[in-house]
Amino acid sequence: MNRFTEKMNAVVEKLAQPQSCRDLFREYNEGAPLPSAKVLEEIIELVRSIMFPGYYGNCNVNTGTLRFHLGVNIERLYTLLIKQIQAGLSFADYRDVAVYAAYNKQTVITELFRMATARAEAFIERLPEMRRILATDVKAAYDGDPAAKNFGEIISCYPIIKVLTIYRMAHILWELEVPLIPRMLTELAHSETGVDIHPGAQIGEYFTIDHGTGVVIGETTIIGNNVKLYQGVTLGAKSFPLDADGNPIKGILRHPIIEDDVIIYSNASILGRITIGKGAVIGSNVSISHDIPAGTTVTQK
Amino acid sequence: MNRFTEKMNAVVEKLAQPQSCRDLFREYNEGAPLPSAKVLEEIIELVRSIMFPGYYGNCNVNTGTLRFHLGVNIERLYTLLIKQIQAGLSFADYRDVAVYAAYNKQTVITELFRMATARAEAFIERLPEMRRILATDVKAAYDGDPAAKNFGEIISCYPIIKVLTIYRMAHILWELEVPLIPRMLTELAHSETGVDIHPGAQIGEYFTIDHGTGVVIGETTIIGNNVKLYQGVTLGAKSFPLDADGNPIKGILRHPIIEDDVIIYSNASILGRITIGKGAVIGSNVSISHDIPAGTTVTQK
Amino acid sequence: MNRFTEKMNAVVEKLAQPQSCRDLFREYNEGAPLPSAKVLEEIIELVRSIMFPGYYGNCNVNTGTLRFHLGVNIERLYTLLIKQIQAGLSFADYRDVAVYAAYNKQTVITELFRMATARAEAFIERLPEMRRILATDVKAAYDGDPAAKNFGEIISCYPIIKVLTIYRMAHILWELEVPLIPRMLTELAHSETGVDIHPGAQIGEYFTIDHGTGVVIGETTIIGNNVKLYQGVTLGAKSFPLDADGNPIKGILRHPIIEDDVIIYSNASILGRITIGKGAVIGSNVSISHDIPAGTTVTQK
Amino acid sequence: MNRFTEKMNAVVEKLAQPQSCRDLFREYNEGAPLPSAKVLEEIIELVRSIMFPGYYGNCNVNTGTLRFHLGVNIERLYTLLIKQIQAGLSFADYRDVAVYAAYNKQTVITELFRMATARAEAFIERLPEMRRILATDVKAAYDGDPAAKNFGEIISCYPIIKVLTIYRMAHILWELEVPLIPRMLTELAHSETGVDIHPGAQIGEYFTIDHGTGVVIGETTIIGNNVKLYQGVTLGAKSFPLDADGNPIKGILRHPIIEDDVIIYSNASILGRITIGKGAVIGSNVSISHDIPAGTTVTQK
Amino acid sequence: MNRFTEKMNAVVEKLAQPQSCRDLFREYNEGAPLPSAKVLEEIIELVRSIMFPGYYGNCNVNTGTLRFHLGVNIERLYTLLIKQIQAGLSFADYRDVAVYAAYNKQTVITELFRMATARAEAFIERLPEMRRILATDVKAAYDGDPAAKNFGEIISCYPIIKVLTIYRMAHILWELEVPLIPRMLTELAHSETGVDIHPGAQIGEYFTIDHGTGVVIGETTIIGNNVKLYQGVTLGAKSFPLDADGNPIKGILRHPIIEDDVIIYSNASILGRITIGKGAVIGSNVSISHDIPAGTTVTQK
Amino acid sequence: MNRFTEKMNAVVEKLAQPQSCRDLFREYNEGAPLPSAKVLEEIIELVRSIMFPGYYGNCNVNTGTLRFHLGVNIERLYTLLIKQIQAGLSFADYRDVAVYAAYNKQTVITELFRMATARAEAFIERLPEMRRILATDVKAAYDGDPAAKNFGEIISCYPIIKVLTIYRMAHILWELEVPLIPRMLTELAHSETGVDIHPGAQIGEYFTIDHGTGVVIGETTIIGNNVKLYQGVTLGAKSFPLDADGNPIKGILRHPIIEDDVIIYSNASILGRITIGKGAVIGSNVSISHDIPAGTTVTQK
């Protein structure tokens, strides 16, 4: 054993100490790996190919074969979702390793599998409605950008459609109380496009964001129909109350309400549980932390 | 057939209805798949290896073998480009499926192939000039960043060089009237770097952007020589006129003109068809929507 | 030889001219390829799996097998690091090709190998301390976000942890005077998350950034403990002196000092070698270029 | 240019001389690459998944989704086949490069595409009959091997089924006069299993080979129903007449006829256009070059 | 729907008919996919890396780190084995789909998981003994081939060692009554090397085969210590009795017994439940179907 | 630590004992990994693309670009070869780990690098002569098979050309005294085609093997010009003398000499240092172990 091997063994020893890895070490429970970012990416691709056949997934699809492709893709989506949702459900309980061991492990797995299957099924059933809403988003992106040549260009390369496809599926999973996965999905969209929409946010139809990089939409945000944002816009929290121990209280309504027909220009920051009234226009680089009446235009002084 | 399979068949049926997938479904025309993002990434890698031999592509290249590498890379680039441009040309007509069927399909394909070949050839011939300009951009990035150690560091890891290599090739394809692909290319750069430059924008020599994330440069922007931007800068449109049907009129000149020697600091927004005069300096977080005279400095109040 | 082949040969000829490729061409030195972005990505994955066992890398790890996994991962990390650091050291001298040839090439390689080995070893020895600090960052992210459900969610999908893991390893390599690689690493983080932290910046413990996209932290920035930033914040340089030849002088202290307990909200720009005093709060979209006293709150007018 | 680069340039020069590469160099015709072994492997996988659903291809298939899977796989098979058959047809004419150039290239491509499409269609229509015959082969393998546990074991791992699936599809393509591809297919089977069946051979139903390695079945062989071979059996040619120039005359009937119900044991060689009569048994390691009457048993002396 | 799409739908319809796909269609049972050839290949690689550290698997292993590598590889082997063995156990019952549905599916899965875990554990415990025997095989190959330069050459490239590593692990799994997988493993070896050893065969220590292609060793063969075979040797069955229905009776002892110290030269066929006595030598191309006394030499007449 | 983890630790302990892994464990020497089968496969592909441009490697090659492709491929071949040959040279000394440590390690590496470079260079210079001989082999295969349609079919799918390309490059490396790699190369050919030619064998021009599976050609075999073999032919050793310790004496001439114009039919075995005279014909399944006069025909009795 040479000199470095000795040093290395010492480093291994330090890093394996409980006090070093506590909280940062996820111990393996049979049947309970983490949801996989790689599989979630495949799931996103499947949803895109179901929403926009011919643009994503196999391009050799025509009217006569569309059902075959939808069938195969939806079946695979369902199979992958069950496994990932089961992983997410396991994760949510990860601190209860002791409890886990006390119960019959297989009973827990069986129950999680049953729950995951029900949620995957519910997700599949919401796909047609999800496509109906995405069609309004595609139209909003087209109507809102003079540079857009046709719907196909929007669908195949606009980041907003990539983000909204992921956000809308993540939001459905959020409503179905699937843990962790909705957040992992929107972080994948965040990394790809620079747009960070929390899966808990509620967003109406015919919504669009131009360019997108730097946009943040917080967990308790509510957005109406026909709203348009530009790059760099923040719909964020201003501050949040702490509990007796000094920890932030979870679940407080702390992000804005944006009513129908609002436009918010680049780099504006809208902070706190305030309301931007119907039809208001917020100029670029403005920072706002109080209600704005309907129909008002606010610009940088 | 179990219970879920029945449900799944019902969902397939809904998603295959014409009213559900209209506008979101791209029907396949033989010989006319969409341009492929994956192939475009290979094209970008080839252009990088031609522009910066030894930094990108095969690193085993020396003076005695440079011609071999350039030859093989340019030939492959040419072959890939023809196919992608042909796909882009097909796409531009994608609504005319009926027309397509009426004509002899092979005649259309033959004509598109001829057009694609001519444009790929023209692109190849512009590579030496494109490298000449990129050399000025590399120098601009080096001169403008006290943290830069040498040209090699700039070429191998600065995001601005990644963006400009893609933008400059996309702009040439834009000038050659290649549809869709220029936009797909700049969206790849946007996703990688957070910098969104429309391929139609005109940008002079010795141009640089520091850090870059969040920068937006719109379709009709004109930028002179020796201009420097910082992260978060928007060169955008303020608003745009609608036609009689309420749709935005396409092709209006709606983005700024930035003259030579201008510096624009982080998060500033320059909006509308205004002119920032030669040598002006715009401070960070400022929002501007009117002309700025040459030599002026503008800062946040 | 057909017509295009002739044209292509002419383009090859132009691009192979010394005046065309000067400064943009990296000639190959045996044993001295560039550091590889792809290998650096594997190195990042290894460090993540060492810092957060079970969350990254092989998920089948438990108390009884943790040492095996740490041992294999650290050994591979060490092997990969030596080769990449050697490449970085070669690169730093890349202009001295003539010198290189004059010396015995193998002597140079032997010396670089010795230097690389020593630095890789030093890096490995600093892993336990690096994990100790990252644990404070994970806690800061959890405490600072009411939307966070548990530590596992933070570790597995928050961009700030991805960025800080990379920044903290890059900063160690920076202190060990490894050329090029620290910058390549932080650019990988920049591309993935939109957060651009220069590896030379000094950042204290219990640090966090919410959302992150668009944040820039410059080379000579100093940040204390318990500091929190939001998306779009710039800690940048205002301007920098030129030398007699008009080139920026390298190495000047030109970025801010942020003292302990400071909060800076979204899109604020802090520019120049100024000090933001202990406990200060900077509002969103503000641009600041002078000292701010401890305890002060600054908001947009 | 260093010493080796000079040598290398000299070697390149020699290898590029017409007299060196004549006959060994296939010059590229636009639209006419060779059939691809890699794509043929994907085609084989598709045919396996169509013949044996659930054993090959996506294993998540049940009665309710079988049609979806068949539809998607057959469509993809059809698309891949057209392109490969077109490549095979181009190849067959590869010596006529001059002719090629004289004609309008696009006309040739159009015609080849039409021919390839017709043959791919004919192939697809023969799939149900092909499956019917393969079912008899599976039964023959099961009945003939006391070690076989069930049909599933035969289908999922017996080399004879791998070989026969490929041979039977290659033989259909051979009958459809597709050039080159049938031979490439059987060579892939040869490499995988050590069984070399020429695609031109005619083989009846309920056929099997035990173990298989070393079996050779020549181009003009005719095999009846219910025949069983063991490893190392040769059904070959004895000698063949030369033409006036000393070249072998192509197309002579030179391989054996094996009638129904014959068994041939390991390493036996059956050579020339002879007939092995119905129900004959040939012992191992025997070499035979004359007719064997029906019902006879022949063993090594 | 164009003309081909109609035809295709008709073909799909035929292939989906129960009478067409009966016996060839494996319907999916949740949790019960087939064992995967791809995963088995990874399992083989893991076993090779455990048997021959440094020759297979990660080559960066030394005395100081050997335990880490063994630990990680054995843990992964164990995890993969459980899943594959469970798949094999499910498969063995695959005809009982009705039964499966009647029982509580999760109960069956739980029981199969328990059985699979026990067998995987038993396999792991036999690894040290397996390596002890393989060491004698390596020595036999070295001693028996004047062309061999050293043990390393034998281990890294002789097909016999590839075959025996797979056969010996398959035989252990066979003894542990794991269904299907042992046969799949030896077929992978068969395809790679042309040597077909049934996993049920019993083979003593210090065994070798020179060259190997075409060798067949049947299910009930028994081979002593210090036996050497050459390429093309068959240890096969002569014929086998049929039951009342004309089906071969499974499980009959029908292959040869080869006693210690026997040599069998190329292409010899040894057929039936006969005994080749201790120290006998069988010449090439001989076919034998009766006992051979100890010490005898038999050659082709 | 659960029960299995304990067992696993015990197995790890046993397998890490020196007496268990002695001779089967290759300890790592920095800079001295084994030659890589994966890289050798890339080397084979490169040699094929150099020998048969357009058939292997990039298919987009024409007269005008042939030099570029040859240049890039030869340069890459050279770079890969140096590294692999250096690995082979290190391997040859692998038992001398102690010696290795005593010397200055870098000195040894430097010397091995120098040796490897010289041999790689010599190999490159022999490529044109290698192609000249392969052209005669292609012609022999074409002339000898009535089923062959054209040279292209031979080059693109006949196993004999795959084998001979590998054998002829392995034989050159054997003559250049490169250790291990020649044998690894021919084993790759053996696995792909079932033909086992030892790299030390000497084989004349215009050589062919029909079908090939099961052919063995031993280390000291000498084959003249215009020789044709069929599948299953063995050119092997009969027996070999042992030294005083009972080990086979290495380097004895023990394989046949096959003179010009000989044909040997399927499954024949030619054993020992005997001579098959010019123009002799050996029938199938014959075993021969004494000289055969020129012009004789030998068949099975």
Cβ distance C155 to C55 under 8 Å?
yes
User: Residue D129 pLDDT more than 70?
Assistant: yes
List chain D residues with CB under 8 Å of E286.
285, 300
Residue E3 has what pLDDT? Answer: 78
D60 lies within 8 A of chain A by CB: yes
CATH class of A27-195: mainly alpha
Q: How confident is the model at residue D25 (pLDDT cuts 50, 70, 90)?
A: confident
Residue C106 has what pLDDT? Answer: 64
Helix locations, C93-126, DSSP H: 97-102, 105-125
What b-and-e string marks burial along D4-18, b requiring 16 or more CB atoms within 10 Å of the CB? bbeebbebbebbbee
User: Residue B100 pLDDT more than 60?
Assistant: no
The better pLDDT of the pair E301, B267 is held by B267
pTM for this prediction? 0.92
User: Residue F97 pLDDT more than 70?
Assistant: no
D83 lies within 8 A of chain A by CB: no
Highest mean pLDDT among B88-97, B219-228, E10-19: B219-228
User: Residue D219 pLDDT more than 80?
Assistant: yes
Å between D64 CA and nearest CA of chain F: 40
Distance CA B89, CA B103 (A): 16
Sheet of A208-210, strand order: A208-210, A228-230, A263-264, A281-282, A297-298
The better pLDDT of the pair D164, C2 is held by D164
Mutation site for D-interface testing, chosen from E91, E184, E193, E234 by largest number of D Cβ within 10 Å = E234
> At residue F241, what is the residue type?
P
The better pLDDT of the pair E20, F205 is held by F205
User: Residue E247 pLDDT more than 80?
Assistant: no
The DSSP 8-state label assigned to residue C46 in this structure reads: H
CA distances from A167 to A75, A199, A203 (A): 22, 6, 9
**In C, residues 158-187, which contact B (CB 8 Å cutoff)?**
179-180, 183-184, 187
Residue F32 has what pLDDT? Answer: 61
CA atoms within 13 A on the CB side of A255: 23
What are the φ and ψ backbone dihedral angles of F63, each rounded to 5 degrees? Answer: -50, -35
Instruction: State mean pLDDT over E226-240.
Output: 92
Q: Is the dihedral of CA D86, D89, D91, D95 positive or negative?
A: negative
pLDDT digits (tens, 9 = 90+) for B107-137: 777 788 889 999 999 999 999 999 999 999 9
Instruction: State mean pLDDT over B206-214.
Output: 96
Cβ distance F155 to F161 under 8 Å?
yes
User: Residue E140 pLDDT more than 90?
Assistant: yes
Question: Nearest Cβ partner of D71 from A65, A76, A79?
Answer: A65
Distance CA A89, CA A87 (A): 5
Residue E200 has what pLDDT? Answer: 97
E135 lies within 8 A of chain F by CB: yes
Highest mean pLDDT among A35-39, A59-63, E25-29: A35-39
**In F, residues 3-42, which contact D (CB 8 Å cutoff)?**
none
Distance CA D21, CA D11 (A): 13
CA proximity to A281, closest of A245, A228, A236: A228
What are the tokens at E99?
């039964």
The better pLDDT of the pair E77, C90 is held by E77
pLDDT digits (tens, 9 = 90+) for C213-272: 999 999 999 999 999 999 999 999 987 777 777 677 777 899 999 999 999 999 999 999
Residue E34 has what pLDDT? Answer: 86
DSSP codes of every residue in A135-177: HHHHHHHHHT-TT---HHHHHHH-HHHHHHHHHHHHHHHHHTT
Distance CA B240, CA A145 (A): 9
User: Interface pTM (ipTM) of the complex?
Assistant: 0.91
Q: What percent of chain D has pLDDT over 70?
A: 92
What are the tokens at D277?
């009569």
Q: How confident is the model at residue A106 (pLDDT cuts 50, 70, 90)?
A: low
Distance CA E227, CA E268 (A): 15
List chain D residues with CB under 8 Å of F51.
24
Q: How confident is the model at residue B94 (pLDDT cuts 50, 70, 90)?
A: very low
| Mean of all residue pLDDT scores within chain D | 90
List E300's β-bridge partners, or say none: none
Instruction: State mean pLDDT over D150-176.
Output: 96
User: Residue F122 pLDDT more than 60?
Assistant: yes
Q: Is the dihedral of CA C216, C217, C219, C221 positive or negative?
A: positive
Residue D187 has what pLDDT? Answer: 96
User: Residue B264 pLDDT more than 50?
Assistant: yes
DSSP codes of every residue in C131-162: HHHHHHHHHHHHHH-TT---HHHHHHH-HHHH
Cβ distance E262 to E280 under 8 Å?
yes
User: Residue E280 pLDDT more than 60?
Assistant: yes
Domain boundaries, chain F: 27-195, 201-241+251-301
Q: At what angle do helices D66-92 and E3-16 cross, to 10 degrees?
A: 120
Instruction: State mean pLDDT over B78-103.
Output: 74
CA proximity to D266, closest of D251, D287, D237: D287
pLDDT digits (tens, 9 = 90+) for A89-99: 988 764 444 44
Distance CA F237, CA F255 (A): 5
Q: How confident is the model at residue B59 (pLDDT cuts 50, 70, 90)?
A: confident
CB atoms within 10 A of CB A85: 26
Residue E95 has what pLDDT? Answer: 46
Cβ distance B186 to B199 under 8 Å?
yes
Distance of alpha carbon B260 from the chain centroid? 22
User: Residue E226 pLDDT more than 80?
Assistant: yes
Distance CA F69, CA B70 (A): 10
User: Residue E31 pLDDT more than 70?
Assistant: no
Instruction: State mean pLDDT over B5-9.
Output: 88
Closest residue in F to C117 (Cα) is F30
Residue C57 has what pLDDT? Answer: 87
User: Residue A29 pLDDT more than 70?
Assistant: no
DSSP codes of every residue in F218-258: -TT-EE-SS-EEETT-EEE-----B-TTSPBPTT---S-EE
Instruction: State mean pLDDT over F213-217.
Output: 96
C226 lies within 8 A of chain A by CB: no
What are the tokens at C296?
């002060």
Residue B155 has what pLDDT? Answer: 95
Sheet of D275-276, strand order: D202-203, D222-223, D257-258, D275-276
- Number of residue pairs across A and B with CB atoms under 8 Å? 173
Per DSSP, chain A holds a count of helices (H) and strands (E) of: 10, 14
E71 lies within 8 A of chain C by CB: yes
The CATH architecture of the domain made up of C201-241+251-301 is 3 Solenoid (2.160)
Residue C105 has what pLDDT? Answer: 65
CA proximity to A264, closest of A283, A278, A238, A279: A283
Beta carbons of A15 and C127 less than 8 Å apart: yes
Instruction: State mean pLDDT over A265-271.
Output: 94
Instruction: State mean pLDDT over A113-133.
Output: 95
Question: Nearest Cβ partner of A69 from D67, D70, D72?
Answer: D72
Cβ distance E162 to E56 under 8 Å?
no
Q: At what angle do helices D37-51 and D66-92 cross, to 10 degrees?
A: 150
Residue F106 has what pLDDT? Answer: 64
Instruction: State mean pLDDT over B149-163.
Output: 93
Residue E241 has what pLDDT? Answer: 73
Instruction: State mean pLDDT over C124-152.
Output: 94
Residue B248 has what pLDDT? Answer: 73
List chain C residues with CB under 8 Å of B135.
23-24
CA proximity to C211, closest of A271, A138, B186: A271
What are the φ and ψ backbone dihedral angles of E66, each rounded to 5 degrees? Answer: -55, -45
Please work out, in degrees rounded to the nearest 5, the angle formed at the alpha carbon of residue C150 by the alpha carbons of C145 and C155: 85
Residue B97 has what pLDDT? Answer: 46
Q: What percent of chain F has pLDDT over 70?
A: 92
pLDDT digits (tens, 9 = 90+) for F164-181: 999 999 999 999 999 999
Sheet of F269-271, strand order: F196-197, F216-217, F234-236, F269-271, F287-288
Residue E242 has what pLDDT? Answer: 73
What are the φ and ψ backbone dihedral angles of B175, each rounded to 5 degrees? Answer: -65, -30
Q: What percent of chain A has pLDDT over 70?
A: 92
Q: How confident is the model at residue C71 (pLDDT cuts 50, 70, 90)?
A: very high
List chain F residues with CB under 8 Å of B70.
68
User: Residue C7 pLDDT more than 70?
Assistant: yes
Instruction: State mean pLDDT over B175-193.
Output: 96
